[in-house]
Amino acid sequence: MKQVTLKPLQVGLLGIGTVGSGVFNVLQRNQGEILRRSGRGIEISMVADLDTARAQAAVGKDVTVVADARAVIANPEIDIVVELIGGYGIARQLVLEAIEAGKHVVTANKALLAVHGTEIFAAAHRKGVMVAFEAAVAGGIPIIKALREGLTANRIEWIAGIINGTTNFILSEMRDKGLDFDVVLKEAQRLGYAEADPTFDIEGVDAAHKAVLMSAIAFGVPVQFDKAYVEGITKLGAQDIRYAEQLGYRIKLLGITKKTAKGIELRVHPSLVPAKRLIANVEGAMNAVMVHGDAVGTTLYYGKGAGSEPTASAVIADLVDITRLHTADAAQRVPHLAFQPDAMSDTPVLAMGDVVTSYYLRLNVADEAGVLASVTGILAALGISIDAVLQREADEVGGEGSTQTDLIILTHDCVEARMNEALAQMQALPTVLAPITRIRKEELV
């Protein structure tokens, strides 16, 4: 039987910056391997970028380069639009217009999908096209495919991930060099790990965008960024990292989502993780995601979460998926959020006050008798059980002759609302001399 050779699928890139050029280069370099896997050619034939001269130099004379992204969407020859512009604004319009024009969409834009994903996926479902977004979470790590397909037999119970390389680099440097946050942030900016405006990274927003997408896929709920609890790393001191180490823990910024009897936890914040866990030993700008399923147990996915070619790897994997499924009945494709659109759940996302976890507390207190008894008395009265106490020598904390010291307390699990009440009472004690540092503790078992 004679095999029919299908015409290569035509791809239009919106944006040819770091990731876009990586996609073009990897696709060119590995064209033979990709064709053997996909069964059909994939060609980038059109690129939109405001800097047309730079874009043309990057892709060569055989690719059409335009300044207007809508010219790519309007081209009837283009089968797949790859959105690499970023942000919530024009990217949303362009993605919706591409869907309306019957184009499949590949995007690395986690912010867009975390905020507008429900609208975008619904539009794609109506038009029978695919929106693929492997590159939106953890760069080159195929975590979306693992959650949507590889672990589909499981009830996912929880996910915890280091999903922002900038903050992990900063925390690793703080631990290695004993430096404070501000000093390491400047170094991260100098090395190119942190943006000139690092707010989305250091305040946990970028990690929250990714956690929201993983939560939706794991539990079959809509994307709902507005329900996530988000806390960054800006308030962490070098002493917290040092004390955590002495207690057998590392501090990591984690994106956590968990299914409980009362609802879904969806939170991003610094966490103490036992040093013996593999994820606690993920250093530098690397990413790692732990997923716990009822059948498979705990699995770990590790790799580069950003960068030109790691992200391009994920974008091209999506292009190959679309190429394989291009002619398939839309109803037979893997659903965008793993669950069939009419089987999505309305399980509520818990308010942070309802979350149950354990805590690390650092109190800067007057070095005098009765302080520890006052603090532990408040915790006991609220039914909060203490796991460990570490009291530093005053000289070690404030130098010779110091009249203040650090009191470190690890607690067992309690509901956050009760801990908030305890913190308010402890903060009001005249012997507590500075704002109390509270870091949540995750055993990840």
What is the C-alpha to C-alpha distance for residues 186 and 121, in angstroms, rounded to an integer?
39
Compute the Cα dihedral for 433, 436, 437, 439 and give only its sign. Answer: positive
210 catalytic? Reply is: yes
Residue ranges of E strands in 116-169: 131-132, 156-162
Residue 404 DSSP SS3: strand
Closest to 313 measured CA to CA, from 17, 18, 27: 27
What is the C-alpha to C-alpha distance for residues 347 and 344, in angstroms, rounded to an integer?
9
User: CB burial class (10 A; 0-12, 13-18, 19+) of residue 335?
Assistant: middle
Residue 437 DSSP SS3: strand
Q: Are strands 356-366 and 437-441 parallel, antiparallel or unpaired?
A: antiparallel
Which one from 103, 110, 210, 441 is the annotated catalytic residue? 210
Q: Are strands 297-304 and 414-415 parallel, antiparallel or unpaired?
A: unpaired
What is the C-alpha to C-alpha distance for residues 336 and 325, in angstroms, rounded to an integer?
13
Left if phi > 0, otherwise alpha if psi is -120 to 50, otherwise beta: which for 75? Answer: beta
User: CB burial class (10 A; 0-12, 13-18, 19+) of residue 92?
Assistant: buried
Give kind and range of the element (H or E) at residue 102. Answer: none
What is the C-alpha to C-alpha distance for residues 169 and 185, in angstroms, rounded to an integer?
9
Distances (CA, A) of 2 to 5, 78, 334, 350: 9, 27, 30, 58
What is the C-alpha to C-alpha distance for residues 364 and 220, in angstroms, rounded to an integer?
44
Active site residues: 210
